Homo-oligomer: A and B are copies of this chain.
Amino acid sequence: MSEGISPAIDRLVDDLKRLPGVGKKTAQRMAFYLLERDREGAQRLADSLHHAVERVGHCKQCRTLTEEPLCRICANPARSEQGTLCVVETPADVLAIEQTSQFKGRYFVLMGHLSPLDGIGPEDIGLDELEAQLKSAVIEEIILATNPTVEGDATAHYIADIAESLNVNTSRIAHGVPVGGELGYVDQATLGHAFTGRKKFG
């Protein structure tokens, strides 16, 4: 047993381990669960994986993941009328922002960030396409919602330069103390941002 359970189960466990946040124990639990109690679910999951990998590509306008030519947000005419374009790194960021219901414009999903050391340049994150959209479409403001990391900030600066050359307003989402957070638990950099980004009260 030390060398594994059986070839088919070992292989399933190994492939489940590739999922983010899933280690050996969890993968074993998932494999046993599916084989003992939900074989139909396992078949359905296999079919969905095949289906998604075959069909899902990128939205031709905002680059997010979708199997349609245009994602649901880009296909919604009411949203492109807003004249604001929110630039994010990943499709998950789009979901997170959508959940706030605060933003009614369109997105542009970089599917990454500038990372010269990894050979990821402007074209790899679609900045040529973004520039073309800024030139052709009526976009009044770009909201830079890349991650507050070194790479995310660098990417935001790079995009801001492009936008400035095309006379499009840019803004960066606010960084500061999370709502409900306690100052004592907030890191130095965030607290620094919270001070430099302070606003008139009342």
Contact = CB atoms under 8 A, between A and B. Distances in A.
A98 interface: yes
Contacts of A21: 26, 29-30
Contact of A30 (B20, B71, B72): B20
Q: Per DSSP, are chain A's interface residues mostly helix, strand or loop, or mixed? A: helix
A86 interface: no
Residue of A41, A49, A111 most packed against chain B (CB within 10 A) = A49
Nearest to A21: B26
Contact of A1 (B33, B34, B72): B72
Contacts of A9: 52, 56, 65-67
Interface string A8-20: 1101101110111
B16 A45 contact: yes
A92 interface: yes
Most B C-beta atoms less than 10 A away, residue of A8, A11, A65, A111? A8
Contacts of A6: 56, 65-68, 71-72
Nearest to A59: B6
A162 interface: no
Contact of A45 (B2, B3, B49, B73): B49
B35 A30 contact: no
A147 interface: no
Closest 4 CB pairs of A and B: A46-B49, A15-B45, A1-B98, A6-B66
5 contacts: A5-B66, A5-B72, A12-B48, A29-B92, A32-B90
